[in-house]
Structures are given as C-alpha cells and as structure tokens.
C-alpha cells in the first residue's frame, strides 16, 4: 500500500494557459502579451564568477534594494528581495499566521492566494472583491490586491481602517512609473506589508524577481529567516537584470507609455462590453485586466470563445462560469479586433 499524500497537497489546483488553448483565427487575451521593454536586456549579463557561484545576500543585493527603496519611498532595510511575487506572499503569510488560522482573502482573485493559504494550512474567509467589498482590520489578517486581479478595481490604504491587525497588500499590478507607489506606501503603518512582482511589471516573468516591503523590523527579520530555508537568496543574475531595467531611462519611458496605452485599451474594451447586449463588466480603474460576465448567466468563456476571443474562465479565480477575465496588455491589432468582436455579442 502506498503512503497517503497529504490532504493539503491533494487539494491543490494548478492551471496553465495550455488548459485554455488558442487556435488559428482566435484572439489571445489570456495574459500579458506585450513585448519585452527593450531587446537590449536580452544580451548576456556579465557578472563576476564569484558572484554567480555564491548565494548572495538573503535580503537581496544592496544596489537593487537601494533603487527599490526610492521607488517605494522606504528605507532599503525595509525591503526583502524575493524569488518572484509568490515567494514574497508566501513569506508574508508564513510570518503572520499559524496553521489553522483564519485569513480574509478576496474572491474572485489570483488563484495563488488561496492555494498558498492551503499549503500553509490556513482557513480562508472570502470577501466579495468584484463588488468593491473591503474587510476592516481586526484580529484576522487581511489580503488586499490593488489594482485587483482580475477586476481592475483599486483600494486605498485607508479603506480597511488605520488601526487593527495585519494587512498584506499585493501591489503586483501597480505601475512603477511616477511616484504612485511611494505615495501609496507612505500611508502604511507597522502592520502593513506590501508584496510586489518586479518580474511581472518589468516584463521579466522568467527572471522571477519580487520583493516584500514592511516597516516592522521583527516581521522583516522573521521573513529573512524563513527565506533562508526556502530559496536562500534570489538569483544574482535575475536581480542584476531587474536593476538594469529599473535604471534604464528608455525602459522608464516605455513603462510610462505602456501605462497610457493600456488605459486606452481598458476604456475601449469596457466600451465594447457596454455596447454588447449580452455582456457586462466590472468598472476596472487600473491594472491590465477586465472582468466580464454574461447578463443571462450563460458560460462566459464559451460565449466569447465562440466569437474567437480567448480569456481565462472565472472559475480559475474562484469565480463562476458566467465570468471570464480578459487581459488588455496586448498588441494594438489584437485590441482592435477584440473590440469589434465583443461589441457584436
């Protein structure tokens, strides 16, 4: 008889884009299909052999943390560089919860939220993010994603209240252009934690670079200890690549340009949904996603796929079959074609 697999491992669910394939003539709005910020960053990175052969700083390279400190408006010692945004979130959850604890998490939401909670043995008490519900601070930790994936709704730092328990802010879909992130984190107290995916925003998803930001030194020390037993340190190659992108003025300009372009894409897709007789959408205000549902309750993914528009079904985000997520981070011709098709539904 084989040994039993744990209940937590057996209950995990993982999706990939391959579960929702795109065929000839269909439009791919499943995820970010915008090109890398600059082909220059594809060239080899020349790092000293000793740098690559060592683990490096567990907290992250000082040069990268210094640049991130300016971006987030904090001290570099309040930043922990991580192997992507998911490790940052796992570390945050590890440091503020114990097995069996309750945590408030949004639904619909990025599926990794509840899957990581399952890995840690937490119990999730969901709240309705699609209608703008924001739980208040209290003894139970709260996770808030802003701009929210998949709806594009935004939440201000004062929405959950100024005093109470821990709040984890997933800011992975917030633009790095301008001073917006620093203005947001300026409102943080000692029980606010931010997690961020540099690899997502800088169009370096394969590099796997993220960070955790907190003002509580005890929380940061605990996160460093936990990271020591997970990834030990984030790849020096990936950190150097992220640093080059953040410091490159061409990339900074491109990020600002894309932010403006995506705002136009968002407005156009929302207008197309509004013109449709069978669809409606959450009024996305930021980010790169639109969350659409059918008016009559029919399967939204099937309806859009029938017109050649492929998104991600709502059930992936713990939503329903009447919902689907569309990503607006696409080439202009894809948005043009998708707008025309959605309007006719």
Dist. CA 20–CA 17, nearest whole Å: 6
Pairing state between β 210-214 and 192-197: antiparallel
Contact call for residues 151 and 108 (beta carbons, < 8 A)? yes
Residue with tokens 């492929």: 310
The stretches of the chain forming alpha helices (DSSP H) are: 7-10, 49-52, 62-72, 84-96, 112-119, 180-185, 198-201, 217-228, 236-247, 249-275, 300-306, 332-343
Dist. CA 105–CA 124, nearest whole Å: 6
What the chain holds in terms of domains, given with CATH numbers, is 7-37+250-343 (3.90.1150.10), 48-248 (3.40.640.10)
At residue 201, the pLDDT reads 74
At residue 240, the pLDDT reads 87
Q: Please give the model's pTM, rounded to 2 decimal places.
A: 0.95
> What's CA 198's distance to the chain center, in Å?
10
Helix-helix angle 249-275:236-247, to 10 degrees: 80
> pLDDT 10s per residue in the chain (345 long)?
568 899 889 999 999 999 999 999 999 999 999 888 765 655 556 666 666 767 889 999 999 999 999 999 999 999 999 999 999 999 999 999 999 999 999 999 999 999 999 999 999 999 999 999 999 999 999 999 999 999 999 999 999 998 889 999 999 999 887 788 999 999 999 999 999 998 877 777 888 999 999 999 999 999 999 999 999 999 888 898 888 888 888 888 888 899 999 999 999 999 999 999 999 999 999 999 999 999 999 999 999 999 999 999 999 999 999 999 999 999 999 999 999 999 999
Q: Bridge partners of 213? A: 79, 194
- Long-range contacts, 120-124 (Cβ 8 Å, 24+): 120/90, 120/93, 120/94, 121/8, 122/93, 122/97
Q: Strand order of the sheet with strand 323-327?
A: 279-281, 289-294, 323-327, 312-313
Residue with tokens 């796997």: 208
Distance spanning both ends of the chain, measured CA to CA:
54
Q: What is the DSSP letter of 45?
A: P
Contact call for residues 82 and 207 (beta carbons, < 8 A)? no
Phi, psi of 195 (to 5 degrees): -120, 145
At residue 278, the pLDDT reads 97
Q: What is the DSSP letter of 4?
A: P
């Amino acid at each position: 008889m084989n040994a039993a697999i744990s209940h937590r491992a057996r209950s995990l669910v993982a999706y990939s884009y391959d579960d929702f394939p795109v065929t000839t003539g269909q439009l791919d709005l499943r995820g970010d299909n915008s090109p890398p910020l600059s082909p220059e960053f594809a060239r080899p990175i020349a790092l000293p052999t000793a740098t690559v052969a060592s683990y490096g700083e567990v907290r992250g390279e000082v040069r990268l943390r210094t640049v991130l400190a300016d971006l987030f408006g904090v001290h570099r010692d309040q930043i922990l560089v991580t192997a992507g945004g998911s490790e940052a979130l796992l570390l945050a959850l590890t440091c503020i919860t114990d097995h069996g604890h309750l945590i408030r998490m949004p639904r619909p939401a990025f599926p990794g939220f509840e899957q990581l909670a399952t890995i840690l043995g937490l119990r999730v008490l969901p709240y309705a993010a699609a209608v703008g519900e924001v739980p208040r601070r209290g003894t139970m930790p709260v996770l808030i994603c802003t701009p929210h994936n998949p709806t594009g709704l935004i939440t201000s730092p004062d929405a959950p209240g100024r005093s109470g328990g821990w709040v984890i802010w997933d800011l992975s879909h917030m633009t790095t252009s301008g001073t917006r992130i620093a203005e947001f984190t300026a409102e943080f107290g000692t029980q606010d934690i931010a997690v961020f995916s540099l690899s997502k925003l800088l169009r370096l998803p394969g590099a796997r670079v993220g960070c955790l930001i907190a003002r509580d030194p005890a929380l940061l020390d605990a996160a460093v200890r936990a990271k020591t037993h997970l990834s030990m340190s984030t790849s020096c190659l990936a950190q150097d690549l992220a640093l080059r992108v953040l410091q490159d003025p061409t990339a900074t300009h491109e990020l600002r340009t894309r932010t403006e372009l995506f705002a136009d894409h968002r407005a156009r897709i929302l207008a197309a949904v509004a013109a449709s007789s069978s669809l409606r959408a959450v009024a996305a205000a930021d980010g790169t996603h639109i969350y659409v549902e059918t008016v009559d309750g029919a399967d939204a993914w099937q309806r859009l796929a029938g017109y050649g528009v492929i998104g991600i079904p709502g059930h992936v985000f713990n939503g329903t079959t009447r919902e689907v997520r569309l990503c607006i981070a696409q080439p202009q011709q894809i948005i043009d074609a998708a707008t025309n098709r959605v309007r006719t539904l």
